[in-house]
């Protein structure tokens, strides 16, 4: 690979509060796939901002277009069990778009799915009669959606789509922000394109999950240089991480009001893995009690939130 095609790794301040004061938590795991795509800096680490608690990678990888294509290709998603496929493609999109309708103060016509992946949110929105737009950085995923649903999908970063201001009634963002080196840019763009009475539904991974506390303790005892939080160099390629507090701070700092936050998920992790991935299946069965306690304590592995533009900001 030519040097000018390689990702740029840059030391940047916390994207949430702008400070450069952080605690280094350890080194991330690297997969052969990403190591084959780009050389990895020796000093790359997972850090936590001392001021706000935001988790991020330092130095931060800014992937080039060709690298995004290599990372988010046909091999990105692991094989799904029949149960997880139904939840991911049908149950979750329907439940979340039902929630959007419940919180909408006016009818929904224009709908945007950010980072639409294979288009399950778009598919459910079409079923509801909404006019849909999809955005995706992976040409492979975009082509799958175009072929299956027969709709246009913008390929590139959200801001590059130049959607009109105050245009969408609803925006759906499922597990996208974790992949961005500077997620606040997307928060601001979602705020810009959403109508003053619009609704957004966003899901992100919860780095404050109880299972992460257990893993961190285990790694301190067995692999003190390693950090189990985030995965910038291996699946699922998460560059940054939110907690419920930092997620709420991010929303409010760009002019959103958080209407509803649920910290959930975990106890069904074992059902995602079939007999072809016995190791992951057994590990998640062992973790089950921790997932269960985590969900009961509000420290599950996922944050799901309904947000709306703050009224005084959108008069």
Vertex 245: Cα angle to 239 and 246 (nearest 5):
35
Q: How confident is the model at residue 2 (pLDDT cuts 50, 70, 90)?
A: very low
The torsion angles phi and psi of 89, rounded to 5 degrees, stand at -95, -25
Position of tokens 């029949």? 82
Percent of the chain with pLDDT over 70: 97
State the DSSP H helix or E strand holding residue 197, giving kind and residue range, or none if neither.
Answer: strand 194-205
CA nearest to 40, candidates 17, 19, 60, 70: 60
In this prediction, residue 238 carries a pLDDT of 98
Set out the domains of the chain in order of their start, with CATH numbers: 3-64+209-222 (no CATH), 82-206+242-265+300-313 (3.40.50.150)
Q: How confident is the model at residue 280 (pLDDT cuts 50, 70, 90)?
A: confident
In this prediction, residue 4 carries a pLDDT of 44
Vertex 83: Cα angle to 298 and 264 (nearest 5):
10
User: Which segment of 4-8, 22-26, 76-80, 228-232 scores lowest on mean pLDDT?
Assistant: 4-8
Q: Chain centroid to CA 313: how far?
A: 26
Length of the chain: 315
pLDDT at residue 147 greater than cutoff 90: yes
Enumerate residues 6+ apart whose C-beta is below 8 A from 143.
none
In this prediction, residue 277 carries a pLDDT of 75
In this prediction, residue 5 carries a pLDDT of 53
pLDDT at residue 263 greater than cutoff 90: yes
pLDDT at residue 15 greater than cutoff 80: yes
User: Distances from the Cα of 235 to the Cαs of 31, 67, 179, in angstroms?
Assistant: 8, 14, 11
Q: What average pLDDT score do residues 274-289 get?
A: 82
Dump pLDDT digits (tens) for 34-83: 999 999 999 999 999 999 999 999 999 999 999 999 999 999 988 889 99
Count the Cβ atoms, other than its own, within 10 Å of residue 155: 21
User: Which segment of 39-53, 137-151, 258-272 scores lowest on mean pLDDT?
Assistant: 258-272
User: Which segment of 190-204, 255-269, 276-290 scores lowest on mean pLDDT?
Assistant: 276-290
pLDDT at residue 162 greater than cutoff 80: yes
Cα separation, 242 vs 247, whole angstroms: 6
User: Which segment of 88-92, 271-275, 291-295 scores lowest on mean pLDDT?
Assistant: 271-275
How far apart are the two ends of the chain, measured CA to CA in Å? Answer: 50
Cα separation, 190 vs 287, whole angstroms: 36
Percent of the chain with pLDDT over 90: 84
pLDDT at residue 273 greater than cutoff 80: no
Cα separation, 108 vs 114, whole angstroms: 17
Cβ 268 vs Cβ 60: under 8 Å = no
Considering the chain, what is the average pLDDT of its residues?
A: 93
pLDDT at residue 191 greater than cutoff 90: yes
CA nearest to 165, candidates 311, 307, 309, 305: 309
């Amino acid at each position: 690979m030519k040097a000018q095609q390689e990702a740029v790794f840059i030391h940047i301040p916390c994207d949430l509060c702008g400070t450069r004061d952080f605690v280094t938590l350890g080194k991330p795991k690297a997969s052969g796939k990403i190591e084959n795509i780009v050389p990895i800096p020796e000093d790359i680490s997972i850090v936590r901002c001392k001021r706000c608690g935001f988790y991020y990678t330092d130095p931060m990888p800014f992937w080039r277009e060709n690298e995004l294509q290599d990372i988010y290709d046909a091999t990105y998603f692991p094989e799904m069990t029949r149960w997880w496929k139904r939840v991911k493609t049908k149950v979750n999109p329907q439940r979340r778009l039902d929630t959007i309708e419940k919180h909408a103060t006016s009818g929904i016509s224009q709908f945007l799915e950010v980072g639409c992946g294979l288009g399950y949110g778009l598919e459910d929105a079409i079923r509801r009669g909404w006019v849909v737009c999809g955005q995706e950085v992976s040409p492979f995923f975009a082509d799958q959606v175009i072929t299956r649903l027969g709709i246009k999908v913008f390929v590139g970063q959200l801001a590059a789509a130049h959607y009109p201001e105050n245009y969408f009634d609803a925006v759906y963002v499922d597990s996208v922000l974790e992949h961005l080196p500077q997620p606040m840019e997307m928060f601001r763009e979602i705020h810009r394109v959403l109508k003053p009475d619009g609704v957004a539904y966003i899901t992100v991974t919860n780095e404050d999950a109880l299972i992460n506390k257990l893993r961190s303790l285990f790694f301190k005892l067995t692999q003190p240089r390693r950090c189990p939080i985030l995965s910038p160099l291996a699946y699922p390629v998460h560059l940054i991480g939110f907690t419920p507090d930092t997620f709420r701070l991010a929303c409010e700092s760009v002019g959103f009001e958080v209407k509803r936050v649920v910290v959930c998920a975990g106890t069904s992790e074992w059902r995602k893995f079939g007999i072809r991935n016995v190791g992951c299946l057994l590990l998640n069965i062992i973790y089950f009690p921790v997932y269960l306690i985590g969900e009961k304590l509000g420290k599950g592995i996922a944050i799901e939130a309904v947000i709306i533009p703050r009224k005084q900001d959108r008069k």
